[in-house]
Amino acid sequence: AQAWLEVALTDLQSSRNNVRHHTEEITVDHLLVRRGQAFNLTLYFRNRGFQPGLDNIIFVVETEDAVYLDSEPQRQEYVMNDYGFIYQGSKNWIRPCPWNYGQFEEKIIDICLKLLDKSLHFQTDPATDCALRGSPVYVSRVVCAMINSNDDNGVLNGNWSENYTDGANPAEWTGSVAILKQWYATGCQPVRYGQCWVFAAVMCTVMRCLGIPTRVITNFDSGHDTDGNLIIDEYYDNTGRILGNKKKDTIWNFHVWNECWMARKDLPPGYGGWQVLDATPQEMSNGVYCCGPASVRAIKDGEVDLNYDTPFVFSMVNADCMSWLVQGGKEQKLHQDTSSVGNFISTKSIQSDERDDITENYKYEEGSLQERQVFLKALQKLKAGRFHSSRRGADLQPSRPTPLSQDSPRRLHTPSLRPSDVVQVSLKFKLLDPPNMGQDICFVLLAFNMSSQFKDLKVNLSAQSLLHDGSPLSPFWQDIAFITLSPKEAKTYPCKISYSQYSQYLSTDKLIRISALGEEKSSPEKILVNKIITLSYPSITINVLGAAVVNQPLSIQVIFSNPLSEQVEDCVLTVEGSGLFKKQQKVFLGVLKPQHRGSIILETVPFKSGQRQIQANMRSNKFKDIKGYRNVYVDFAL
């Protein structure tokens, strides 16, 4: 009888296979292959040669690809691209923040696998956890919980306190690699500090590294509805300033999450594709701080009873907003706004630096009958209590009567009259110049009388800093305007907030909310208008001196300036870029005189070819996030 074949050596052909599987940037020393694609290996036998017809070799493989994306340009963007932009600011001023995802950098794959092993699931039941790692739904929930550190030794500590003395201000980061490497190097101690865009960016790095198509999404005016009634309550005092509220409902100026592409065999047909995952610790889901995957299609259709966490995501993009005036311990309803939440939902375009607006993926057009019908459907599903997600538990009852009452369909189909329609006066803010950091803010209040009667107005004006999560800081500027309007007359009331008035009150988010609360002598109705101003800095300029070629020295010039008319101290410049720098470069600049401009030259040797990006940030004792970037094409060495 013929002797059994004994395998002496297996050649996994790592180098060749990894190139064909687009993983050679991660490693060529180990076999790293992607689902659903062929690869070659060679077996060497010890005792005799392989005889076709006589010998049979059986391989057992499972190659179903639950994250297959059939567009090559989309695969290049959402799996292979190692840099991008995260949109910040406000809906009136959308600002791209450059980011180094760096998913193919040295050690990142090991860190991502360590992250899976550090999860509560693996720690509790390693066998089941490993068996479920082929499921993108499961893996995405595990990663989502591990990016924040609320339940475990996750990657990032969240901090919205404005006090970051024992860590990094979230605005200073320009990439995920430094964060993940610090977490790994310190024995998996959470890195201080992150906010929503940092959580989402690090999650994007991990998911792209694991081969799951992922993109970073920004939602402007994002609802955070804590009691599941799809109403965000905002409270104002009689000067028009916004008050912090007991319920902790807020509208975030912007909020950032991820979308990951996957099949959803656990849901009815049609709900696969892009899924929302939100690693920012806001609410619990099945006992841990994670959110999703929630089908984007389900959110648009109002199917809030489909897993996971769709009611919460629905409220982020489509809750209604109720404004209340608080006076003498009483609350007076000012207005219910059905369209203020969820604007300009944005992500980076495929293979370009432009912004893609994907709002229509999440909801029908604001003001359309379809949008109101979906809102009602979602409300009815929540009211019926048919969803049993532990994100909300049983606490579905709103804290006060809201449109869950009997007349809700009629009221929701015909939005309530705005106070300005009752008073017949409209108020609006208009900026006169772009709001630059270090300069005075000049604006006007436009008042227009729509009626054929005279109108006597008293308008309380105020300004206060905001954090991007909607939390208000104390007002630092107030004014009272008395305006008399003839029939059909328009008037402007000029306002100015000087740099010395706002400089010490500004948060890192550089957001100022100006408010006006107007009342007319003959009417009890009050008109509330506000505008959010984002102060901007001049960017850092980066110039590449000469041609960029793999393994050839390259000089990079970084030009920076102090935009303020006062001296700044403790200036630090950080520069990074995957494939260009082995690690983040830090340059200590020290003191910069008022309006000082300077430049430095950095020397590096690019080690990867193709399209690359350099990201830079400058911080000081007065500002934290002056940014800049430059795209560079690196040629192969001849």
Helices and strands of the chain, counted as H and E runs: 15, 30
Considering 21, 22, 121, 255, which one is annotated as catalytic? 255
Distance (Å, rounded) from C-alpha 36 to C-alpha 65?
6
* Model pLDDT, residue 300: 98
375: its two tokens: 């809102």
Of 309, 311, 18, nearest to 140 by C-alpha is 309
Distance (Å, rounded) from C-alpha 464 to C-alpha 194?
24
- What 8-state DSSP symbol labels residue 175? B
Q: Which helix (H) or strand (E) holds 545?
A: strand 541-545
* Model pLDDT, residue 54: 87
CB-hemisphere CA count at 13 Å for 171? 21
Other Cβ atoms less than 10 A from the Cβ of 45: the count is 14
CA-CA-CA-CA dihedral for 18, 22, 23, 24, to nearest 10: 70
Phi-psi region of 31 (alpha: psi -120 to 50; beta: other; left: phi over 0): beta
Whether 349 and 356 have beta carbons less than 8 Å apart is answered as yes
Other Cβ atoms less than 10 A from the Cβ of 218: the count is 26
Distance (Å, rounded) from C-alpha 334 to C-alpha 327?
12
Annotated binding-site residues read 318, 320, 366, 371
* Model pLDDT, residue 621: 94
Active site residue 196: yes
Considering 97, 196, 204, 291, which one is annotated as catalytic? 196
269: its two tokens: 């047909």
* Model pLDDT, residue 53: 86
Annotated binding-site residues for Ca(2+) read 318, 320, 366, 371
CA-CA distances (angstroms) from residue 530 to 208, 460, 492, 517, 587? 40, 12, 16, 9, 41
> What order do you get walking across the sheet with 343-348 strand by strand?
294-295, 273-277, 250-262, 214-224, 343-348, 355-357
Average pLDDT by stretches of 10, the chain with 638 residues: 85 96 93 91 92 86 87 97 96 94 96 97 96 96 96 92 94 97 97 98 98 98 88 89 78 96 98 98 83 97 96 95 90 88 97 96 95 95 65 32 29 50 89 93 97 95 92 93 96 96 91 94 88 93 97 98 94 98 96 96 97 97 95 91
Considering 129, 227, 249, 278, which one is annotated as catalytic? 278
CA-CA distances (angstroms) from residue 216 to 42, 271, 356, 391, 610? 40, 20, 11, 23, 22
Give 206: exposed, middle or buried? Use CB within 10 Å, 0-12, 13-18, 19+.
buried
Active site residue 255: yes
Distance (Å, rounded) from C-alpha 352 to C-alpha 347?
11
Distance of CA 75 to the CA centre of its chain: 21
Distance (Å, rounded) from C-alpha 200 to C-alpha 111?
17
Of 225, 221, 164, nearest to 195 by C-alpha is 164
DSSP bridge pairs for 605 = none
436: its two tokens: 């630059």
Q: Which helix (H) or strand (E) holds 31?
A: none
Distance of CA 68 to the CA centre of its chain: 24
Backbone angles phi, psi at 192, to 5 degrees: -100, 125
Q: Taking CA 313 as the corner, what is the angle to CA 258 and CA 213, rounded to the nearest 5 degrees?
A: 25
